[in-house]
Amino acid sequence: MKTLLLRLIHYLISLGEFLRYLILFMPMQTISFSKKSVTYKIQSDSKSLKKLPTHVGFVVVEDEFSFRDLANLIVWSVSLGISYITIYDINGEIKRNSLVLQRNIESSREEIMSQEKTNYDIQIVSSSHPVSCQSSSGSCKAQRVKVHLLCVEDSHSKIISVAQHLCHLVSTGAYQVDDITPSNVDTFLQESLQFPDPDLCIKFGSVDCLFGYLPWQIRLTEFISLPSHKGVTYKSFLSTLVQFGNTNQRFGK
Amino acid sequence: MSWFPQRRQRTWLQKGCEAILTVGPVPKHVAIIMDGNRRFAVKKSLAKCEGHLKGFDKLAETLEWCLDLGISEVTVYAFSIENFKRSSDEVSYLMELSRQKFAKLLQERDLIHKHGVCVRIIGDISLLPRDLQELLAEAVSISSENKRAILNVCFAYTARDDICMAMRELAIAVKEGQIKNSDISEELLEKCLYTSHSSPVDLLIRTSGETRLSDFLLWESSFSCLAFVKVLWPEFSIWHLYAAILHYQRNYNKIQIARQNQTIERERLQRDSDYHCMMEELSLETASRDSISCMTAPSPLSITTEHKSMQERVQQYAREREKRTEAFLSCVYERRKQFMKSLLPVRPIMSAKPTAVLTC
């Protein structure tokens, strides 16, 4: 009896969530706007935002992936002026398909950035592909943006590698035990991963869990959830950035 | 207000909800960031201190709710190392509040034992004033035998500091040759953290609508359900707790699967590392022997026996590694225990108070 009641409550919540999703997100998807207006908007939007994250992380906790939408997210972020992007899924499905993502980025940027004068050099980096694939537009003046593809292997085990490295240094006498401080460990991790701590993390999917996304780096990261990355619109992406711009961090004070 | 407030009669509705909720999975370990005390004070135009006091009362109340629901471990973020940056007035007030509250807790030791609550302090308490350290150590020591529920108080804690402390322990042990560098694994580092004696964090609640972790349990909360609640901490009610548990139940299955995969993956990595280390040792051994004997083609029989002996060697290596790390960990735990003990005030036994002869 009680079990049934609990199950009923859960069904009702799920139904409620679904209806909320329908009402809030579906209308956006049906509105399609012309390409030209999008580019124009991105340029002006980046100026109107209160603050822009340097590093944005996309955590996908869904079972199916739409590389087209991920590519759109990357291109929008790059056009807004975000310099570091990480994309995380626990099993490394996105990492394995980096070439598919690469192709999608090409077509997506043609569509979205065709009118733009500035060139961006989008570089995909992942530990399983040491040779990074580049989507360069030829000009040497292009601003370089790195997209890091991550999975669970890049999270806790990276801290362990740093720990092993530090222990080795201490045992050889090159380093003092008291020098193992948060700021030094942070430097080592940034050197090995080549990106600063994410300022904003957008999580796609209904499960509220990070599934091992960069445990060291998320100290001050703002988390914002969106129901799905499939069919995500520019408008809902921008709304997360506006929300990020309105937060106020006190850093313990 | 006391740590164990007078039990309030709960309404039939709350009882009903509790009965229904507990049919599903209930988190064993809940971590709470009690944020919003000062904003609450501003909102109600009270003094900042009032806000903190209200926050403490809410904590005592929440602990009771958790006990009733069967949540056996609660971790709260009381004071971060970053909080030392606040104005000296506020810091000293917070220290004074903690002093009073822990002194109160020591007075209520009968109630602690009655409820079976074990108090643990998580963090680098050597950063705190000495008298507060002593109070904390005493609270830990009198309750350490209790088993029914655990309250972890994070005091002078940040997750990054915790990870660095663990790395230091490891570095010292590697330097002294107690463990090998290759023995360092996720599991071993985890066992050096302050939270090593805790069960995995199932649910992390942060109040006041902020959606950050702010250096709280970064390592431990990777596979926890996160619940960001809009209300300020002093306004947190039993209904918010119920909602958070419902939220946990909705996410339960997926998180559980991910955790299982994680354990399998860790075991695989450990086996790999054992194999590589064993091979390294073997190649060192044979290199010294090979200089004498020349290579002969191995017969099929010798391959199978060699394979078998390989497996045995790996197992042998794993056993030795476990022995090493266990010895190391018991050293670390013993040292921490001794540190806490060293803080205990040297005081005659309570019953040996001077008798009231003087007043006669």
List C-alpha distances in Å: A10 to A6, B27, B278: 6, 16, 51
Which segments of B194-299 does DSSP mark as H helices, in order? 238-290
Instruction: Give yes or no for residue B358 having a pLDDT over 50.
Output: no
pLDDT of residue B185: 95
What does pTM read for this prediction? 0.89
pLDDT of residue B113: 93
Q: What is the mean pLDDT of residues B321-331?
A: 96
pLDDT of residue B105: 93
DSSP A143: E
Residues of chain A in contact with residue B168, where contact means CB-CB under 8 angstroms, are: 177-178, 180
Q: Using CA atoms, how far apart are residues A28 and A107, in angstroms rounded to an integer?
A: 22
Record: contact A221-B212, CB cut-off 8 A: yes
And the tokens for B16? 């009903």
pLDDT of residue B289: 73
pLDDT of residue B356: 42
Of A3, A160, A208, the CB nearest to B227: A208
pLDDT band per the 50, 70, 90 thresholds, residue B58? very high
Record: contact B262-A218, CB cut-off 8 A: no
Number of residues that make up chain A: 253
Instruction: Give yes or no for residue A154 having a pLDDT over 80.
Output: yes
Q: What percent of chain B has pLDDT over 90?
A: 78
Residues 92..151 of A with a Cβ closer than 8 Å to B: which?
none
Q: Which residues contact B32 (CB under 8 A, 6 or more apart)?
A: B62, B74, B75, B76, B77, B204, B205, B206, B207
Quickly count: other Cβ atoms within 10 Å of residue A134's Cβ: 12
Q: What is the mean pLDDT of residues B164-180?
A: 95
Closest residue in A to B90 (Cα) is A253
Q: Which residues contact B211 (CB under 8 A, 6 or more apart)?
A: A222, A223, A224, A247, B228
pLDDT digits (tens, 9 = 90+) for B76-111: 999 999 999 999 999 999 999 999 999 999 999 999
Record: contact A6-B20, CB cut-off 8 A: yes
pLDDT band per the 50, 70, 90 thresholds, residue B285? confident
Record: contact B186-A156, CB cut-off 8 A: yes
The mean-pLDDT minimum among A100-114, A214-228, B213-227, B242-256 falls in A100-114
DSSP A142: P
Mutate to test the interface with A, among B210, B222, B261 (most CBs of A within 10 A): B222
The mean-pLDDT minimum among A234-238, B212-216, B270-274 falls in A234-238
Mean pLDDT score of chain B, rounded to an integer? 89
pLDDT of residue B351: 44
> Which burial class, exposed, middle or buried, applies to A46 when counting CB atoms under 10 A from its CB (0-12, 13-18, 19+)?
middle
Element (H, E) at A88: strand A84-88
- What does B285-341 look like in DSSP terms, one character per residue? HHHHHHTTSPP-PPPHHHHHHHHHHHHHHHHHHHHHHHHHHHHHHHHHHHHHHHHHH
Residue A182, chain B, CB below 8 Å: the answer is yes
Element (H, E) at B134: helix B130-143
pLDDT digits (tens, 9 = 90+) for B118-142: 999 999 999 999 999 999 999 999 9
What sign has the CA pseudo-torsion A145, A150, A154, A156? positive
Q: What is the mean pLDDT of residues B277-303?
A: 70
- Exposure string of B15-37, with b = 16+ CB inside 10 Å and e = fewer, is eebbebbeebebbbbbbbbbbbb
pLDDT of residue A79: 87
pLDDT band per the 50, 70, 90 thresholds, residue A249? confident
Phi, psi of B357 (to 5 degrees): -65, -35
Record: contact A177-B168, CB cut-off 8 A: yes
Residue A90, chain B, CB below 8 Å: the answer is yes
Record: contact A13-B172, CB cut-off 8 A: no
pLDDT digits (tens, 9 = 90+) for A24-59: 766 655 555 444 455 557 777 888 888 899 999 999
CB B193 within 8 A of CB B166: yes
pLDDT of residue B354: 44
Q: What is the mean pLDDT of residues A7-15?
A: 87
ipTM over 0.90: no
pLDDT band per the 50, 70, 90 thresholds, residue B299? low
pLDDT of residue B251: 94
Instruction: Give yes or no for residue A160 having a pLDDT over 50.
Output: yes
Residue A167, chain B, CB below 8 Å: the answer is yes
List C-alpha distances in Å: B89 to A246, B86, B237: 29, 8, 30
Amino acid at B337: K
Record: contact B167-A166, CB cut-off 8 A: yes
pLDDT digits (tens, 9 = 90+) for A57-76: 999 999 999 999 999 999 99
Q: A78 in helix, strand or coil?
A: helix
Residues of chain A in contact with residue B269, where contact means CB-CB under 8 angstroms, are: 157
